[in-house]
């Protein structure tokens, strides 16, 4: 299992990865745009 991929778009992560906490879980995304997508998704019912 590869954990070095973006939680939003499955791109490979590099040193620019951003850590986001979603539903109490820390995940990593490749860019601010993907972090935003995940946060938006979490807010949806
Ligand atoms: Zn991404």
What is the pTM for the complete model shown?
Answer: 0.79
Please give the average per-residue pLDDT across 7-11, as a whole number. Answer: 95
Q: What is the pLDDT of residues 11-41, one digit of tens each?
A: 999 998 999 999 899 999 999 999 999 999 8
CA of 3 to the centre of ligand 1 (A): 13
pLDDT for 43 equals: 81
CA of 11 to the centre of ligand 1 (A): 6
Residue 1 has pLDDT above 80, yes or no: no
CA of 41 to the centre of ligand 1 (A): 14
CA of 16 to the centre of ligand 1 (A): 11
CA of 14 to the centre of ligand 1 (A): 11
For 19, counting Cβ atoms within 10 Å of its Cβ (0-12 exposed, 13-18 middle, 19+ buried), the class is: exposed
The β-bridge partners of 12 are 5
Residue 44 has pLDDT above 90, yes or no: no
Residue 9 has pLDDT above 60, yes or no: yes
Domain of residue 14 covers 1-45
11 touches 30 (CB < 8 A): yes
Distance from C-alpha of 42 to C-alpha of 27, rounded to nearest angstrom? 13
């Amino acid at each position: 299992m590869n954990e070095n991929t973006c939680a939003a778009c499955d791109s490979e992560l590099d040193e620019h990865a951003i850590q986001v906490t979603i539903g109490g879980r820390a995940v990593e995304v490749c860019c601010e745009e993907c972090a935003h997508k995940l946060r938006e998704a979490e807010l949806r019912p």
